[in-house]
Amino acid sequence: MSFNINEGIYPLHHTKIIHLVRHAQGTHNVASELSPILLISEKYFDAEVTPLGWEQVDNLQKHLHASGIFKNTELVVVSPLMRTMQTAAGAFGGGVLANESDVPPLMAENTGGSNRPAVSSLNCPPFIANELIREHVGVLPCDRRRSVTEYKPMFPAIDFSLIETDEDVWWKPKIRETDEEIAARGVKFMKWLLTRKEKEIAVVTHSGLLHTTLGKYGDDTHPAIKEEMSKKFGNCELRSMVIVDRGMIGSDTSKTNFPGKIPNGADGPSRVVDQ
C-alpha cells in the first residue's frame, strides 16, 4: 500500500517557535519612498524609527500582549541597529521605566531623538544583539551601525556580548552584500537559534534579511505555503513560525515525554494476536 503523505511530524523537543518581526518605519523608509537615491546620504546613517513607526510599535505591543506571545517569549534577538533595537524595546520591553527603579533601562529616555520615555527591563524577556541578522551591509549609510560603546548607554540592558568588534567592520562604502551572501548569514543564524535552550524566541530584524533567508526554506511544501513564507514583510509586521531541528544541531531533551510501562509488566505488541 502506498501513501501520499504531505504532513510533517517531528518530536516537539526538536522544534522551536520563532516570532519574526521587521522593524517599524524608519526615516530611511520615508526617504526611499521619495527617491531611493536619497539613501546614499549620511543624513540617514543608522536610521531611527519615525513618529508613525512608533505608532506601529505601540500597536504591535498591544497585539503581543493580547495574543499571549509576550507572555510566552523567552528571548528577544535583535539586529544591532538603532531602528531594530528601538522597535524591539518598545514592543517587547517592560513598559515605561519607573523613576525609582534601580535596574538599568532597556532603552534610555529619548534614544535616537525618539521623544520616548525610558523603557523598563523588568518583567520582559532578556535581549541579545546578533550581527548575523543585520540588513544588507555596505554602500548605504542607513545600514551602518554605531559602535557598541555608543549603543550601550542608549540600550543598557541589551546584551552585546556576541558583537565581536566595537566598530562596524562589516560595512564597506563601495561594496554591498549580495542576496546570496545575506541569505547565507540568515541560514547560519537559524542554525544558531537551534543551539539555544529557549523554546519560544522573538527575532527583530530587517526586510532584506527575512525575505532572502525565508526564500531558502519551504521547497518541500505546497507552493502557496512557500509563497506565504517568503513574501516581503511590511514595517512592524510579525509572523510566527516553527523551526525544526532535522539534523540534531541542538541537544534538547524532551520535557514532556513520559516513559510509560510503570510498574513493569507484560507489554507485548498487539499484532501478536494477528499472528
Q: Which of 48, 131, 135, 177 is catalytic?
A: 135
Report the distance separating Cα 91 and Cα 70, nearest Å. 9
- Asked if 157 and 104 count as a contact pair (C-beta separation under 8 A), the reply is yes
Distance CA 208, CA 268 (A): 55
Check 19, 23, 206, 211 and give the catalytic one: 23
Residue 119's nearest CA partner among 56, 180, 171, 54 is 54
C-alpha angle 70/73/79, rounded to 5°?
A: 100
Decide if 164 is catalytic: no
118 dihedral zone (left: phi>0; alpha: psi -120 to 50; beta):
beta
| Nearest residue to 139 via CA among 37, 242, 256 | 37
63: annotated active-site residue: no
Do the Cβ atoms of 142 and 47 come closer than 8 Å? yes
Measure the CA–CA gap between 86 and 48, rounded to whole angstroms: 8
The x, y and z cell numbers of residue 163, run together, are: 558583537
What are residue 49's DSSP bridge partners?
26
Residues with catalytic roles: 23, 135
